[in-house]
Amino acid sequence: MTSILFVLSNIFNILLCRIAQAQPLLAFDSQTILWPNSRDNLELTTGFVKGRQDELALQMSVRTRPTTVFRPRSLDALHHARLRSLHNQESEMVEWDELIVSGPDVEDRHTLSQLARMSGNAYVLPGQKNWYEVDAAWNVSFPFGWEDESDGFRGHVFFSSDNSTIVLAIKGTTLNGPTSKKDKFNDNLLFSCCCARVDISWVFRTVCDCYVHGWRCDDPCLSDALIQDSLFYSVGVRLVDDLRLMHPSSNIWLVGHSLGGALASLLGSTYGFPAVAFESPGERLAAHRLHLPLPPVQKSTVPPVPVTHVYHSGDPIPQGTCTGFGSPCAQVGFALETHCHLGKSIVFDTVGKLGWRVDVRKHIIRDVITKILEIDGVEWEEGRDVPLARAEEDCVDCFKWEFGHFKDDSGEDSPYQG
């Protein structure tokens, strides 16, 4: 197990031309020191040059661990197989390579806290309210997606001092702001059972026209609705492709909160990159509707993707319980109905251990950081200050809905057969 200190690299000045032309907000000089730590591992530390090499108080490290990932042998073949399945409902074999890479140590509470802070910082620019202080070397931000105020896909990219590891932090949903409309569109398209139709009396405008009648929903229509440039997943694919092109030998991690975490998971599953998602709705159904080729299931019923979800029992959104016409989510136009997650999930029992009530107001990243990950003295499980990550086996979303081919080729409802 090793530790990495993250800084932001000046090379990002020329990165992501298709998404945004990012500029550094501050400039800094750095120095690198390499030494064995107490457990005979190597720790890479980088700090600001202040005239004294031993001034290391500004530094903070993130623990890593060997992580097994499955990556497509050919990304072109993967994208071709996905589009063939999406457009023609035809399957195509994708070959996968099993690799061991350096990923985040999700059993380390400090590491999770730092990644959660980076996820929180994806919502704002440095110096703005709600920017979370991490290491001083991280207080220089290279943002993406901020030039167009209405562009919802945005966040920050962090580099390790030697560019060996890159962390892409993706913004989640903003309730009131210039990105809110696109955020809500993506939430309702990805995490609702049928076009954000909460029940048969749903009065809000749905995001697609796939509802048929009763509890029936047209599956091909749902897949077609996901072929849109405004879908954040498609934007994220182009962004990750840019990162891979410019840093072919770097480890890439993805993190995010809520919608941002789900996108991090979907992109991590696509490329075989480690991802950590905080308080995210279930994205397993979205992966199915996006026709993402995933590594074959082995011992578990869940595909072996390098994704870790982190959420707590007091938040109804990742549990898929903020649903129904009278729910707080529906009252503001959200249909967040899915609860099945890819990868494995770390669930902090804040209801049982801290006495919290289930409340959608506990969804915010601030509570995850300051009231869960950074409090001491709580034994979340026997002998553990971080619960064990577990796969959500045999999980079923939208069980009362029936999905199938219920519309004819013209898009009209097929005759009802009972």
Active site residues: 258
Q: Which of 177, 229, 187 is nearest to 336 (CA)?
A: 187
Residues counted in the chain: 418
Query: Residue 156 pairs with which residues in a beta bridge?
Result: 143, 169
Quickly count: other Cβ atoms within 10 Å of residue 31's Cβ: 12
> Using CA of residue 277, residue 278, residue 284, residue 290, what is the dihedral sign?
negative
Secondary structure string (H, E, C) spanning the chain: CEEECEECCHHHHHCCCCCCCCCCCCCCCEEEEEEECCCCCEEEEEEECCCCCCCCCCCCCEEEEEEEEEEECCHHHHHHHHHHHHHHCCCCCCCEEEEEEEEECCCCHHHHHHHHHHHHHCCCCCCCCCCCCCCHHHCCCCEECCCCCCCCCCEEEEEECCCCEEEEEECCCCCCCCCHHHHHHHHHHHHCCCCCCCCCCCCCCCCCCCECCCCEEEHHHHHHHCCCCCCHHHHHHHHHHHHHHHCCCCEEEEEEECHHHHHHHHHHHHHCCCEEEECCCCCHHHHHHCCCCCCCCCCCCCCCCCEEEEEECCCCCCCCCCCCCCCHHHHCCCCCCCCCCCCEEEEECHHHHHCCCCCHHHHCHHHHHHHHHCCCCCCCECCECCCCCEECCCCCCCCCCEEECCECCCCCECCCCC
Token look-up 């800084």 returns: 7
Query: Residue 57 pairs with which residues in a beta bridge?
Result: none
Token look-up 């990805």 returns: 190
Quickly count: other Cβ atoms within 10 Å of residue 28's Cβ: 15
